[in-house]
Amino acid sequence: MFNNFFHKMASPKYFYRIAGSLIPWLAGACLLFTLAGLYYGLYLAPPDYQQGESYRIMFIHVPAAWMSMFVYVVMAGAGAIGLVWRIKLAEIMVISSAPIGASFTFLALVSGSLWGKPMWGAWWVWDARLTAELILLFLYLGIIALHGAIEDRRTAARAVAILTLVGVINIPIIHFSVEWWNTLHQGPTVTRFDKPAIHISMLIPLLLMAVAFKLYYAFVVLMRARCELLERESNAGWVRELVESK
What pLDDT score does 245 carry? 82
C-alpha to C-alpha distance for 76 and 143, rounded to whole angstroms:
12
d(CA 106, CA 89): 26
**pTM (predicted TM-score):** 0.93
| Contact in structure between 108 and 61 (CB atoms under 8 Å) | yes
pLDDT (tens, 9 = 90+) of the chain, 246 residues, equals 545 555 565 789 999 999 999 999 999 999 999 999 999 999 999 998 888 898 999 999 999 999 999 999 999 999 999 999 999 999 999 999 999 999 999 999 999 999 888 878 888 888 899 999 999 999 999 999 999 999 999 999 999 999 999 999 999 999 998 777 666 666 556 554 455 568 899 999 999 999 999 999 999 999 999 999 999 998 888 988 888 886
Q: Is 114 helix (H, G, I), strand (E, B) or coil?
A: helix
- 161 touches 72 (CB < 8 A): no
Instruction: Please provide residue 227's backbone torsions phi and psi, each rounded to the nearest 5 degrees.
Output: -65, -45
Comparing CA positions, the residue from 164, 174, 51 lying closest to residue 109 is: 174
Contact 129, 185 (CB under 8 A): yes
Characterise 121 by phi-psi region: left (phi > 0), alpha (psi -120 to 50), beta (else): left
229 in Cβ contact with 57 (< 8 Å): no
pLDDT computed for residue 180 by the predictor: 74
Rounded distance, CA 64 to CA 171, Å?
Answer: 14
Using an 8 Å Cβ cutoff, are 2 and 10 in contact? no
Residue 2 has a pLDDT of 44
> In this predicted structure, what is the pLDDT of residue 234?
87
